[in-house]
Amino acid sequence: MSKSPKKLHKSSRIRRNRKLFGAVLLVLVVGLFFVFIGRFSYIVSSGKLNNVNLSKKTETKYNRDRRLTAVRGKIYDSNHNIIAEDSNVYNLYAVIDKNHVSTDNKPLYVTNKRKTAKVLSRYIPLSEAKIYAVLNDQKSGAYQVEFGNAGKGLSLEVKKEIDAKNLPGIYFTKSVSRLYPNGNFASNIVGLAQTDNSDSASSGTLTGVMGIENYFNNILTGKNGYRQFKTDSFGYELPNSQTVVKKAVNGSDVTLTLDARLQSYMESVVSEVADTYAPTSMTAILMNAKNGKILAATQRPTFNPSTKVGLNNSWRNALVQDTYEPGSVMKLLSLSASIDSGNYMPNAYYQSGSVNVDGSIIKDWNTSGWGSIPFGQAFARSSNVGFVKMEQQMGAKTWKKYLTNFGIGKKTGINLPGESAGSIAYTRAVDRATTAFGQGVNVTAVQMMQAFSAVANNGKMVKPQIVSEISNSSTGKVQKEKTEVVGHPISKSTATQVRNEMKDVINQTYGTGQSYAIPGYEIGVKTGTAQIASGTGSGYLTGNNNYIFSVVGMAPIDNPKYILYITVRQPQKMTAPAETILSSAFNPILKRALEYSTGASVANVKTSEMPNLTGQSVESAKQTLEDGGLTYSLVGSGNKIVQQLPLAKEHVLSGQRAVLLTNGAMTMPNIKGWSKNDVLKLAEISGIKVKFKGDGYVVKQSVAENQLLNSTSKLTVKLASKN
């Protein structure tokens, strides 16, 4: 029986649809094939997929780069004692989550909190109770806890001691750090380097943020290298694979002109003066007059770079960044200008007391004056009226020329960041008159030292120098800094005559500087008492202590080797006259420098050179000191010396006490019987704050022996005379 036409038509339509579908499918498959071939050809030829370089992607997956970090250069003093160097420190943390266990279910968290707190309290400056409280912090469901500043910056030795106790759940992270073994030591000059985590490229590197560390940051930093190697898909290094290594180039070392022996002594003396009289600020600079090398310099307030105590109040380097009206020490320059310009008439007389300049009355510090006196006494008496008249005799144009030649109003170019240029008010006649005695002119301490050098150095003005040389042990390259003569503002005969008048300040009965005499040495000085602008735009502050008291001295005065300049601003405890405050710092510092220069023993008693104990074991250091006839006291529970006072190579008296900081937890020694100077060493090396009551030797201490100390600790000491 044949199929009906209707069924035949349906069957034909189905076959036709199948052929059409097959044709479409074939075209689609062929099209996709050609697309695939084209895509593959493009990838093969270009090496890219979706704008991603496949070769680089493969390299990224199987090649690894490991950064080889350059070691930051060291900073040395002039005798090659280390002032700053790289070090690793460790930060302590504890895992308290009980789910943190090993593959074999061994606890990797703190299991015995009482025992852990007790052990850790021996090594970090935190009490057992506080450590236990931290370990019991369950409020936030914390996985791990830290111990604040007490658990940060631990040395390798302390880490090893804690590791040896096998405390479950106690771990450390390592970070690079900068070590300042001398503590408070020209801190605002040396500066500070801190870890830079601002971006991934610089993460973990040290960056200088102030002082020499900042100014020479690029030179000190060096250049990081890398090691490139291949890994498998799991990230493990392939054995025998080719590696590419670019060695790191370590940073260069910077040697300063500072002498650690004089610097350490200056820090101790200035600390004592600052503690006694509480000035709002204080500066001291000792410079070699012949070559401009700064041998010691400090300021108050300052900070301890090891503990960071005081840093918040001492970011500025007062010696180069702060400007002020210098007062009567400026008369060294105005007297020089008057003599050198041929206008000085020492035997002519003038009426002292007061003078009228364009309607403004200028008075002597002794407001009633000394009657009619010769100009030859104006300098020693520090008569403002005499110097106003000298400025008028010179004329504004001549005096301005000498100010410019002395470098006033210009930066010295010393290798320290942020130096200020100062300024000169010179519009009105009264402005020009007051600059002759140090008002209406703003200077920096370093700028004044440069100007003083012309007087000390027979007219040859030298640039203050803080860096002695820059060297790189990798390349062997050494760059020595040379003495730079920056001008000859006055003649040799003028300089000699000015220094003779500086002698009169000390030696004449009418001189203002008799307190600064040092027996056995010829000294010349000039004192200063500068008013402080009120800040309201009109007038100056009033009150007995609202001045910047200062003194500059040169010695030996006939052929000066040293210039010492000290300023004390607004002493809050003005329990003594200004000259007593200043001389209590000036005299011992300059005397110590002169004794080093001549080789004389301090106070004509037996002295010896302090050995370098840093890095030695406690037992070895003890033996060394005992053999040298020195007493010692330890601060800390460690077995290695990390800081010492006095510093290495400093001359010390027989029987003098050395204070040694160890690598263990910082603990309080028994200080009964100590001198005030010994306690100041303890404060400097530990960073603690000390308050004194009475005078003499320690009879009572507020912090018990062996109690843990940290940078926030406060110690009150009662002193009394020995029976």
Structure letter (DSSP) for residue 184: S
- Tell me the helices (H) and strands (E) count for the chain, helix number first: 20, 35
Q: Are 670 and 280 in contact (CB under 8 A)?
A: no
Nearest partner of 294 among 285, 284, 305, 283, judged by Cα: 285
Count of CB atoms situated within 10 Å of the CB of 55? 9
Q: Is the peptide bond before 571 cis (omega within 30 degrees of 0)?
A: no
Bridge pairing between strands 253-256 and 75-76: parallel
Whole-angstrom Cα distance, residue 254 to residue 669? 36
Nearest partner of 688 among 657, 716, 713, judged by Cα: 713
Please give the radius of gyration of the chain, using alpha carbons only, rounded to the nearest integer: 36
Q: Which helix (H) or strand (E) covers residue 131, if one does?
A: helix 128-135
Nearest partner of 519 among 506, 538, 532, judged by Cα: 506
Whole-angstrom Cα distance, residue 589 to residue 583? 10
698 to 237, 529, 673, 684: CA distances (angstroms): 63, 36, 5, 17
Q: Are 107 and 99 in contact (CB under 8 A)?
A: no
Selecting among 328, 352, 583, 711, the annotated active-site residue is 328
Structure letter (DSSP) for residue 703: S
672 to 150, 658, 703: CA distances (angstroms): 27, 15, 12
Q: Which residues pair with 253 in a beta bridge?
A: 471
**Is 328 a residue of the active site?**
yes
Whole-angstrom Cα distance, residue 97 to residue 75? 44
Q: Is the peptide bond before 279 cis (omega within 30 degrees of 0)?
A: no
Q: Which residues pair with 398 in a beta bridge?
A: none
Nearest partner of 655 among 617, 694, 603, judged by Cα: 603
3-class secondary structure per residue, 208-257: EEEHHHHHCHHHHHCECEEEEEEECCCCCECCCCCCEEECCECCCEEEEC
Q: Which residues have CB under 8 Å from 613's CB, separation 6+?
A: 621, 624, 625, 641, 644, 648, 658, 660
Q: Are 610 and 582 in contact (CB under 8 A)?
A: no
| Residues annotated as catalytic (active site), given as ranges | 328
